[in-house]
């Protein structure tokens, strides 16, 4: 039961994050959505290693206390969080630049200005 609860929660977070990116037009909300989504994914990744009744996978004095939790997903989550953090920093820097450049953070307006500058004639 706990498994489905965990996975359901993680996937719920992902879907909320995605909804924020897709439905909202404000770039900052999109970035927040991105962060929510990454946390959801990390939660999913971590919950994969869950074993009911498992202990922390630390060998105390050479003997394991009982059923251990799978350590590998935790390692993966560590890296994923770091990567998420890095990408988020870059995103915020770019948002500041876009705000200076276009004075607006509405995704649709930014996209239209961007295409105009690229010289894409709207034939």
Partner 1 sequence: MSELDFLFAFAAVLIAGVMCCGRDGRAGWAAMAVYGAMLVAVMAAAGKVAGGSIPSALGFSVLGHKIGWRMDGLGWFFSMLTAGAAFFASWYAAGEWGRAQPGMKTQHLLLALNVAAMLLLVNAGDLLSLFIGWELVSWAAFAMMAQKGGPAQPAAMRYMIYALAGAMAVLAGIMIVHAVTGSFAYKDFAAAFGAMSSGMKWLLAGLFAAGFGVKMALMPFHLWQAAAYSETPGASSAFLNAVSARMGLFALILVLVKVMGLSALAGLHVPLIGLSAKGLLMWIAAFTMVIPTFIALMQTDARMLLTWHGIGQGGYMLLGVLVGTGLGTAGGLLHVFNYATYQMALFLAVTAVIHRTGTSDLDRLGGLITRMPWTYVTLLMGIIGLAGLPPMNGFVSKWMIYRSLLDSGSAFLLIFAFVGTLGTILSVYKLIHNIFLGRLRPQHEGVREAPWSMVAPMLALGGIGFVTGWFPGLALNLTDIAQAAMGAPELPHGLGGVATARGSLNMIWVVSILLVAIGFGAIVFYFLGNRRYEVNQLNNYAGGHFLSPQVPYQFSHEFYPGLARVIGPWYRGSIVRAEQGIGTLLDVSGDLWRGIYHLAWTPLYLLAATVIALGWAIMGGM
Partner 2 sequence: MSQSLPAIIYPVAIPLMGAFLLPIGARRMAELAGLFGRIVVLLSFSTSLALAVSIWTAGPAVSAMGGFAAPLGIVFYADRLAMLFLLALNVAVFLFWPRGQGAKGGPCTLMLALLAGGSGLILSGDLFNIFVFYEITAVASYGLAASGRTHAGFAAALRFLILGSVGSSLMLIGIALIYARTGTLNLADLSRIAPHALTGPVGLAAFILLLAGLGVKAELVPLNTWVPEVYGAAPARVSALLAGVVSKLAMVVALRFVVQVFPGDGAHTVLLVAGILGVLAGELAAWRAGSLMETFSYSSIAQLGMVALAFSISGAAGIAAGIALALHHAVVKPAFFMLAARWRGPVGGLAGAVKDSPLAVWLFVILSLSIIGIPPFPGFWAKFLFLKAAFAAPSAGVWIAVFVMLAGTVVEAAYLFRAVLVFFADGERGGSTPRFAFAQLAPALGLGAVLLAAMVFIAPLGASISGMADEASNAAAMAARVLDRGE
Q: Which does 15 bind (CB under 5 to 8 A by kind): partner 2, partner 1, none?
A: partner 1
Residue 17 and residue 44 in contact, taking contact as beta carbons nearer than 8 Å:
no
Interaction between residue 110 and partner 2 (CB under 8 A): yes
Q: Which does 4 bind (CB under 5 to 8 A by kind): partner 2, partner 1, none?
A: partner 1
Would you tell me how many other CB atoms lie within 10 Å of the CB of residue 109? Answer: 13
- Measured from the CB atom, the residue of 18 and 61 that comes closer to partner 2 is 18
Interaction between residue 105 and partner 1 (CB under 8 A): no
Q: Which does 13 bind (CB under 5 to 8 A by kind): partner 1, partner 2, none?
A: none
- Measured from the CB atom, the residue of 63 and 123 that comes closer to partner 1 is 123
Write the burial class of residue 65 (CB in 10 Å: 0-12 exposed, 13-18 middle, 19+ buried): exposed
| CA gap 78, 99 in Å, rounded | 32
Helices 71-102 and 107-118 cross at an angle (nearest 10°) of 70
Residues that bind partner 1 (CB under 8 A): 3-4, 7-8, 11, 14-15, 18-19, 21-22, 25, 48, 107-108, 111, 115, 122-123
């Amino acid at each position: 039961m706990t498994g489905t609860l965990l996975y359901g929660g993680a996937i719920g977070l992902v879907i909320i994050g995605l909804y924020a990116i897709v439905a909202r037009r404000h770039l900052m909300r999109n970035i927040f959505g991105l962060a929510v989504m990454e946390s959801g994914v990390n939660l999913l990744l971590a919950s994969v290693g869950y074993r009911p009744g498992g202990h922390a996978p630390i060998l105390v004095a050479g003997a394991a206390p009982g059923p251990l939790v799978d350590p590998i997903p935790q390692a993966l989550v560590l890296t994923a969080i770091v990567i998420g953090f890095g990408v988020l920093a870059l995103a915020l820097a770019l948002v500041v630049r876009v705000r200076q450049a276009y004075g607006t953070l509405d995704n649709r307006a930014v996209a239209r200005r961007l295409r105009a500058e690229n010289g894409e004639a709207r034939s």
